[in-house]
Every structure is written in C-alpha cells, then in structure tokens.
Amino acid sequence: MERVDAVDDDGTQESATAGLKPAGTGDGAAAGTAVAGTVAGTGTAVADTGTGSAGGISSGASAEAALAAEPESADDTESGVAAEPEEGAEPEATPTLAEVLLAAEELWPESLAEEWDKVGLVTGRPRDPVSRIMFAVDPTLEVVSEAIAWGADLLVTHHPLLLKGVNSVAATTGKGQVIHSLIESGCALLTVHTNGDSAVGGVSDVLADALGLVEVEPLMPSALGLPEEGIGRVGQLPTLETLGDFAQRVFEMLPAVASGVRVAGDSTGLVRRVAVCGGAGDGLFDAVRASRADVYVTADLRHHPASEAREGAVNGRPYLVDLSHWASEWLWLPAAAMALENVLTDQGYAVELAVSQTNSDPWDFILTPGLGA
C-alpha cells in the first residue's frame, strides 16, 4: 500500500487525500475508481473475495477487555501470533483481532471518546486472525456487502452501528441484517468515532491538513488527552483568500455528493483564520467565536444554530461553510488506514487495507433555483 497519510514522528501530517475520491453522484469533485483492482490513488489492494473470522457481539469493549473475556482454546496457538521478525526481514505474521485492537487503541484511544459515544469492538472474536481490513464512514448494508465481497476480516467504521440500545438484532431490521451479515461472513466490526475525531491525525486534523492550515490547535481541547488532542481544529491559512475562492477549494477537495457545499457570507470577504470540525459541528459555535475564526467549516448545520450564528456575527464573521457529513469524514479514511498499517508493520505484522468506495451520503439529487434570463 502506497503512503497516503500518516502521522510522522514529529506529530505532523502528510496530505490526507492524495487524489483519492470515492465513486459517487452529485455536483462535487470527480469521483474515483470503484472497488476493483486498487483503491484509486493509493495502491491499496482490492482483490478477490476471501473469508474471515467468525463473529460475536460486543457492545463496544476495549481491546484489553475483549482479549481477557475470550476463553482460552487449543486453537489459540494457531491464531496467527508469531515471534518478532528478525531485523531487516519482511513482516509476515498475521495479527489476531486482539492485536489489531491494541494497535487501534494506540492511534485512537477510547478514553478520547465523548461520554455519550459507543466505540470499540461490535462483532468479532479477539483470537481470530485478521489479514484484510476495510475502512468506511458508515456500517450500512451496502458498505458491509462491499467489505464481505472483498474478503475483509475486519471493517472499521467511523460511525457506530449501535449508538442507541436495541432489544433485538433479528434480521428483520436493517441493523439486524448488518450484524447477521458480519457474523455469518466472519467479518468483525470496530467503531472509531469521537476518539477518531479527537486524536492526533484524526478527522479534523486531516481536514485542516487538506485545507493547508498552519499553526493548528484543537478547537475544544480534550480534558483527558494531550494538548494537541480534542474536538475540531483551528489554524491559519498561509495567505489571505476570499471566501468565494476558499469555498471553491473546499468544494474541489471533497468527494462528489448531491448536496455540494453551502456557504453563508460575503463571497468577496477575506479569510485567514479557519475553524474546522468534520461531521456535525453546530454545537461548537461558542468555541468558534472564542477562536476568532474568520470562517467555520463543518457539516450538518441546522437552521436555527446557523441563523443565530449569523445574527451574532461580528463584521459578518465567522462565515459558514456547510459540508456533507459523510464527505467531511471520508477524507480521514485513507489517513486512518495508512496509520494503522504503519503501526502493524512496525510490530511485524502484514495486512491488506482498503478504503470503501461506497458513497453512503443519504441524498441522491438536489433541486436549486435557476439563474433566469
């Protein structure tokens, strides 16, 4: 897998997008190659369908807890755990799911998740081997089918499947069908949600990097994390830009979606200080105002919070740039896949990784007023 994005030793990030675009419809930037051969622009293999590990259900246990809860078995000695490779040797060992969970915890600590969130392992047996991992934003039926067809042993999604409690996982519901498909095909499911938002190299870091921001810091620092961890990011553009030019750049870097990009503000107004939050961010307006950002880039801006933000703006700022929720978080997937591969490779393991090419944005088309004659 070619390098797409990773956190360097000094904590900085390389380009998050590297030309990757998922297949999709709408009025955004050009869509990328669908799943066949390689994921566009990365060299990530997408090969013939294989089979994975048998599944189980967990409400989101940590890696250590999941491993401890799994009963010992004579098969454990054949679970893919191998001795450390000799120095200079190519990694050949296949990690177990438990070992992948420990690597994920190193990158996206569950302690960074918001209190209301449900992150961690959802299905899968910790002792089973994992040779293929797919990343996606949503654990939808279409995404799960894509992962199974590729032969994934593990699907890592940003959004939780079981954020709210359920009384049944019967296959008569969409979520029940997802769980049955995962378990029956032997594909584990891991959720990396707000812990992936807050972590270094997380969703908002990738968005800030794609925009070329410098002097980046958390918009809302994490109470339990490092100084550079937290929800959202705020930083500086290298040079002044008009809001119109800035919004055009945002539009062009995102995967194609029907809703495009919505903008509130004077298109000729100048911007330099930028606040970003991948995913729904209209609960952060107090922090945005405190950061003195000229423009706020986020997703899912609702009518009342957006209207109140405009009413309370000083000299029209912060301007607002509203994105598709899915598109704003999809940019993180290549970076996350590369970061996980780097950690596993350092530990002597070899895995194949892929980024889902399924566009799970819920909207298919949009109607807008014509300009008229």
Q: Between residues 57 and 107, which one has the greater pLDDT? A: 107
Segment 233-270, tens digit of pLDDT: 999 999 999 999 999 999 999 999 999 999 999 999 99
Tell me the CA distances in angstroms from 354 to 65, 70, 151, 155, 202, one per residue in order. Answer: 27, 28, 11, 10, 18
Which residues face 241 on adjacent strands? Answer: 271
Residues 268, 271, 272: CA angle, nearest 5 degrees: 155
Which residues of 243-283 form beta strands (DSSP E)?
A: 262-264, 270-280
pLDDT (0 to 100) of residue 92: 75
Q: Between residues 81 and 34, which one has the greater pLDDT? A: 81
pLDDT (0 to 100) of residue 90: 58
**Residue 307 CA to chain centroid, in angstroms?**
28
pLDDT (0 to 100) of residue 35: 32
Among 78-82, 162-166, 222-226, 297-301, which stretch is predicted with the lowest mean pLDDT? 78-82
- Asked whether the whole model's pTM tops 0.85, one would answer no
| Mean pLDDT of the region 356-371 | 90
pLDDT (0 to 100) of residue 225: 86
pLDDT (0 to 100) of residue 89: 53
Segment 118-167, tens digit of pLDDT: 999 999 999 999 999 999 999 999 999 999 999 999 999 999 999 988 88
pLDDT (0 to 100) of residue 296: 98
pLDDT (0 to 100) of residue 41: 34
pLDDT at 26 exceeding the cut of 80: no
Segment 165-188, tens digit of pLDDT: 888 999 999 999 999 999 999 999
Binned at pLDDT 50, 70 and 90, residue 369 comes out as confident
- Average pLDDT of the residues of the chain: 82
pLDDT (0 to 100) of residue 32: 33
| Mean pLDDT of the region 350-365 | 96
Q: Between residues 53 and 117, which one has the greater pLDDT? A: 117
User: d(Cα 156, Cα 150) in Å, to the nearest integer?
Assistant: 14
pLDDT at 58 exceeding the cut of 90: no
Segment 275-285, tens digit of pLDDT: 999 999 999 99
Segment 287-329, tens digit of pLDDT: 999 999 999 999 999 999 999 999 988 888 999 999 999 999 9
* Tokens 């054949």, located at residue: 78
pLDDT (0 to 100) of residue 316: 87
pLDDT at 358 exceeding the cut of 70: yes
- CB 42 within 8 Å of CB 334: yes
Supply the DSSP symbol for 110. Answer: G
pLDDT (0 to 100) of residue 306: 94
The three-class DSSP label of residue 171 is: coil
Q: How many residues does the chain have?
A: 373
Q: Is 230 left (phi over 0), alpha (psi -120 to 50) or beta?
A: left
Task: Give the number of other Cβ atoms within 10 Å of residue 336's Cβ.
Answer: 28
- CB 211 within 8 Å of CB 274: yes
